[in-house]
Amino acid sequence: MDERVKNGMGSLAATLDLDAELMLRVKEGDGASFGLLLEKHRSPVVHFLYRMVQNHAVAEELAQEVFLRVYRSRESYEPTAKFTTWLFRIATHLALNSLRDGKNERLQERLDDASSDMPVRQVSDTRPSVEQRLVHQARLDEVRRAVAMLPEKQRAAVLMHKYEEMEYSQIAKVLNCSESAVKSLLFRAYETLRARLAHMA
């Protein structure tokens, strides 16, 4: 396909992206549109960052920085890509920097401490028995450790593929690499996870 046609289709897709339209309204000074974007992407961004750094406080701090950067960049925003690609590119960049700086280690939660003192938006109604909770917790710890041991880029690719259900092409844009490189990253990451978690079936 002709490159210009491809680019044209890309910009058309970006134009039709509802989030990009909201962001353009934010650029025009519409604060309510920023509120809508925050409402829609708050949880996915926080959850992605939480699974990346495995620390709730650090994940929220990083998510705040992500949305702050989005707000501060509104004047120069151009819808050249999907909004979520841009959003997760910022989030991934901050998460990788945080992991490299070791900032989250200061606040590292114990892997067996899934509770938080902070008030939360959702409250679980399920009341499993103590034994069920212990088994679930042990499995959860195993999953968290297995993911935490993945190299950072592989981890980011798996989290975007599994939890955000992103296409290879979008993950490639977020990680600034080729689509085949993403497939390779995912293949190796899942290979490692299969070796560590297959017994949990």
Q: C-beta of 4: minimal distance to another protein in Å?
A: 26
Indicate whether 194 belongs to the interface with another protein (CB under 8 A): yes
Which window, 12-20, 86-94, 95-103, 132-140, contacts another protein (CB under 8 A)? 132-140
* Cα separation, 13 vs 23, whole angstroms: 15
* Cα separation, 88 vs 5, whole angstroms: 26
Half-sphere exposure of 169 (CA within 13 A, CB side): 3
Q: State whether residue 139 is helix, strand or coil.
A: helix
Indicate whether 77 belongs to the interface with another protein (CB under 8 A): no
Residue 96: exposure state from Cβ atoms within 10 A (0-12, 13-18, ≥19): middle
Report which secondary-structure segment, H or E, holds 65.
helix 56-72
Indicate whether 72 belongs to the interface with another protein (CB under 8 A): yes
Indicate whether 143 belongs to the interface with another protein (CB under 8 A): yes
Q: C-beta of 69: minimal distance to another protein in Å?
A: 10
Binding site residues, another protein, CB under 8 A: 27-29, 38, 42-43, 46-47, 50-51, 56, 60, 63-64, 67-68, 71-72, 114, 116, 118-122, 136, 139-140, 142-144, 146-147, 158, 161-163, 165, 168, 180, 183-184, 186-187, 190, 193-194, 197-201
